[in-house]
Amino acid sequence: METTLGQNLGDTHHDHGPASGIGRWLFTTNHKDIGTLYLWFSLLMFLTGGTMALLIRAELFQPGLQLVQPEFFNQMTTMHGLIMVFGAVMPAFVGLANWLVPMMIGAPDMALPRMNNWSFWILPFAFAMMISTLFMEGGAPNFGWTFYAPLSTTYAPPSVTFFIFAVHMMGISSIMGAINVIATILNLRAPGMTMMKLPLFVWSWLITAFLLIAVMPVLAGVVTMMLMDIHFGTSFFNAAGGGDPVLFQHVFWFFGHPEVYIMILPAFGIISEIIPTFARKRLFGYASMVYAIASIAILSFLVWAHHMFTVGLPLAGELFFMFATMLIAVPTGVKVFNWVATMFRGSLTFETPMLFALAFVVLFTIGGFSGLMLAIAPADFQYHDTYFVVAHFHYVLVPGAIFSIMAATYFWLPKWTGHMINERMGKIHFWLSFVGVNITFFPMHFVGLAGMPRRIPDYALQFADFNSVASVGAFIFGFSQLLFLYNVIACIRGGARATDRVWEGAHGLEWTLPSPAPYHSFSQPPVVK
């Protein structure tokens, strides 16, 4: 994409930098500041949720009960899932969108900067409230991140009400973030930046934002129904009053399945930016990538009951949801094909972001294939609620979503800080993470197929070896993330100066800005040819 800047960036006499002190962060409406806040918050949540994961893996290192009580174990699985989904992955993508979308489309800021500030600052309060339940009488929510009724209503600890309001707040935050992204992309594109010239990260976020607007209100609805069942005597999910617990699962997964694509579509966008850069070729099949993302998003509304094959669906329902689910493999396959075709005969180099992107392609595909196995309704009766499911969704979320976020961080960090990352440290972080992830999650396929149930603090003796291997891997992966923290801080504090373009093969408006990107960029829109 050839661009010219319509403005001499040095000539900013009316420009003002950030305010000083804590007020800069509390009252900021600058998309770069808010992006930074989101990213730091998500890293904090990632380490918090990761600590909980390590507690889980430490307990599962050996059969029998060693470290924690089963009640606390349940709270850990629940909080780990909630924090990672709503606190780590989603805010990280919103943070990346804040930083990158305006710079990629030549906009001076997000379209609704004050709302942007608000949507971030809700989050710390939501999570403070949710995490505070750990210290309440009766303990934190213990019903799993899917909070199936009646576990989350009739049998829930009293802290469930705090959980419900925390989810409401996260939902409001996500919806406001999504509205902002859509308004920015639709209304603030630089002249000449037509829709089919948008970078794929922007496209993937536009579609994700529409998914968020469609399903976060449904999540708000389902927790509101829980709230009314618990406190106001309604019977949405209570059979004694004419309700139905299975209804909960339908409404939840109507939200839940698009939600899992909310956590992976921006990752597709990131990978589609990184691979062409380090293959030094244009992305293969740009238009088909856009259509693939859109069709995945549409299909995501038609497959929710594949999470519920064992609740007693009629045969016609099982078949419909089985085939609709398998259909998603087609656009996903198109994407993987395009990434591979982009690399084909490219001049590949393997800097840290590219390593993470390559690992994403391979490991996400493995997770996709185990997803196809789970989509087979008759087979799912065997796999349902086993560690095979745990292995599947961790393969798509950890080396999928999380690796893409790390790839994005290493890729754009020089643009944000003005310093190159330390490649050697980046590579050490990558290899430890890559090896750790596979040691952790690959054995879970085996114990799952052999029948080990998920969310149970103890297990039968025959699963002991693979579980101890998985726990060792988890500690390798977990502690190697401290290297990530180190790398980010080191890159902020210093390092080789980054050029404006940073990477030899980089294309896109953000690379025409100086490194580090000035506090206010594209005050005059660039002209995109």
What are the start-end ranges of the E strands in 364-505? none
Of the candidates 441, 440, 462, 439, which has an alpha carbon nearest to the alpha carbon of residue 451? 462
239 binds another protein (CB under 8 A): yes
Q: Stretches 156-164, 182-190, 318-326, 471-479: which one binds another protein (CB under 8 A)? A: 182-190
- Number of residues counted as binding another protein (CB under 8 A): 36
97 binds another protein (CB under 8 A): no
The Cα–Cα gap between 519 and 148 comes to: 45
| CA quadruple 274, 279, 282, 284: dihedral sign | negative
Of the candidates 395, 401, 364, 409, which has an alpha carbon nearest to the alpha carbon of residue 473? 395
Q: Stretches 52-60, 218-226, 294-302, 372-380: which one binds another protein (CB under 8 A)? A: 218-226
194 binds another protein (CB under 8 A): no
Residue 124 DSSP SS3: helix
Pattern of binders to another protein over 484-503, x per CB under 8 A? --------------------
Of the candidates 362, 198, 186, which has an alpha carbon nearest to the alpha carbon of residue 290? 198
Please select the residue that binds another protein; options are 6, 124, 144, 221, rule is CB under 8 A.
221
Provide the token pair at 479.
Answer: 């502690």
The tokens 């992976």 sit on which residue? 264
From the CB of 189, what's the least distance to another protein, in Å?
12
Of the candidates 328, 335, 353, 329, which has an alpha carbon nearest to the alpha carbon of residue 286? 335
From the CB of 245, what's the least distance to another protein, in Å?
11
183 binds another protein (CB under 8 A): yes
Q: In the complex with another protein, which residue's Cβ is closer, 183 or 341?
A: 183
Residue type, 345: R
List all residues 6 or more positions away from 500 whose beta carbon is below 8 Å from its beta carbon: 511, 512, 513, 514, 515
108 binds another protein (CB under 8 A): no
Task: Give, as one character, the DSSP assignment of residue 190.
Answer: P
107 binds another protein (CB under 8 A): no
Residue 523 DSSP SS3: coil
From the CB of 147, what's the least distance to another protein, in Å?
15
The residues annotated as belonging to the active site are: 80, 109, 145, 173-174, 257, 259, 261, 272, 306-307, 332, 335, 454
Q: In the complex with another protein, which residue's Cβ is closer, 85 or 251?
A: 251
187 binds another protein (CB under 8 A): yes
179 binds another protein (CB under 8 A): yes
Restricted to residues 251-270, the positions that interact with another protein (CB under 8 A) are 251, 254-255
Q: Which residues pair with 7 in a beta bridge?
A: none
The Cα–Cα gap between 481 and 475 comes to: 10
From the CB of 50, what's the least distance to another protein, in Å?
32
Q: In the complex with another protein, which residue's Cβ is closer, 151 or 405?
A: 151
Q: Stretches 22-30, 36-44, 185-193, 286-294: which one binds another protein (CB under 8 A)? A: 185-193
Q: In the complex with another protein, which residue's Cβ is closer, 107 or 389?
A: 107
Report DSSP letters for 379-442, one per residue.
HHHHHTTBHHHHHHHHHHIIIIIIHHHHHHHHHHHHHHHSB---HHHHHHHHHHHHHHHHHHHH
Please select the residue that binds another protein; options are 14, 20, 21, 314, rule is CB under 8 A.
314
| CA quadruple 106, 291, 377, 379: dihedral sign | negative
Provide the token pair at 176.
Answer: 């406001």
Name the site residues for another protein (rule: CB under 8 A).
Answer: 111-112, 175, 178-179, 182-183, 186-188, 213-222, 225, 236, 239-242, 244, 246-247, 250-251, 254-255, 312, 314, 317
